[in-house]
Amino acid sequence: MGQVVATYPAQALAAIRASMADRTNFLLQMAGMVVNNGFFLVLWILFFAGFHSVGGWGAADMALLLGLIMTIVGISGVAFGGYRDMAAVILSGDVDGLLTQPKPVLSRLLSRDSLPSAWGDLVVGLAILVGYGHLTPGQAPLAAAGLACGLVVYLGAATAFASLAFWARGARSFARDLTDFMILFCSYPGSIFTGASKLAVYTLLPAGFIVLAPVRLVRAPSLATLATVAGAAVVYAAIALALFSLGLARYRRGATA
């Protein structure tokens, strides 16, 4: 673990520099995501201009939610960009070259790529949090804690989805679809989820722990909510590590998906 902490920043920085090598491509992808996210924000602003609340969720709450998910996706893509195509890397056999290296395979897979478009998510997400989230100085530490825990849950779930590639060849598109659905579920107020959909957002597609519970932590702080958010981060990180470790052990034995 100490080796990962010491070496990961250097690996991630190398991936970031590589993503910026083609400045034109980098700026176009970043700008495209800024426009996309900005358009999405405008749609919600117009929605709340006509409907002042949805199940108790107001415009400021929705802005906080969008700011959190965009920032989480941005940080994930910039510093852990390998998660997006991890299933494809596993299926292509590129893991073979990593098995001979001393550093943990998972950390190298996560740090092997940085997504230029993720900078657009990060810029817009932070701008929304600062400009529209209506955060008070006292709420800022809670927002930071919720953001950190949501980031762990998001990466944990995405890694777990990608790890399915150790068992199924169709996992490449399936893993990306699940991750995209998870982001989609994170983009709507929690009051719209009931029944089976509510069960999904607190289990398979854990939007509840990525953004919904963190929003509740900021707006109505309690030790129970803080424990829920932190506990979810531990659980989803453990699930991801367990699935990846089991899959990698199977891969080492020569089993194919």
Average pLDDT of the segment spanning 7-31: 94
| pLDDT tens-digit map of 174-192 | 999 999 999 999 999 998 9
pTM of the model: 0.94
Structure tokens at 49: 């201009």
Q: Tell me how far apart the alpha carbons of residues 209 and 205 are, in angstroms, rounded to a whole number.
A: 9
Contacts of 211 (CB under 8 A, 6+ apart): 65, 68, 69, 72, 150, 186
Q: Is 129 exposed, middle or buried (0-12, 13-18, 19+ CB in 10 A)?
A: buried
Q: Concatenated DSSP letters for 136-180?
A: -TTTHHHHHHHHHHHHHHHHHHHHHHHHGGGT-TTHHHHHHHHHH
Average pLDDT of the segment spanning 48-72: 91
Q: CA triplet 207, 211, 217: central angle to 5 degrees?
A: 130
Q: Tell me how far apart the alpha carbons of residues 234 and 243 are, in angstroms, rounded to a whole number.
A: 14
Q: Tell me how far apart the alpha carbons of residues 207 and 245 are, in angstroms, rounded to a whole number.
A: 24
Q: What are phi and psi of 89, to 5 degrees?
A: -65, -40
| pLDDT tens-digit map of 71-123 | 999 999 999 999 999 999 999 988 988 888 777 899 999 999 999 999 999 99
Q: Tell me how far apart the alpha carbons of residues 64 and 211 are, in angstroms, rounded to a whole number.
A: 9
Residue 22 has pLDDT above 90, yes or no: yes
pLDDT band per the 50, 70, 90 thresholds, residue 64:
very high
Q: Tell me how far apart the alpha carbons of residues 82 and 174 are, in angstroms, rounded to a whole number.
A: 16
What is residue 2's predicted lDDT score, i.e. its pLDDT?
56
What is residue 1's predicted lDDT score, i.e. its pLDDT?
57
Q: What are phi and psi of 57, to 5 degrees?
A: -90, 125
Residue 233 has pLDDT above 90, yes or no: yes
Q: Tell me how far apart the alpha carbons of residues 204 and 182 are, in angstroms, rounded to a whole number.
A: 9
Contact yes or no for 64/218 (Cβ under 8 A): yes
What is residue 165's predicted lDDT score, i.e. its pLDDT?
94
What is residue 134's predicted lDDT score, i.e. its pLDDT?
87
What is residue 252's predicted lDDT score, i.e. its pLDDT?
84
| pLDDT tens-digit map of 159-177 | 999 999 999 988 889 999 9
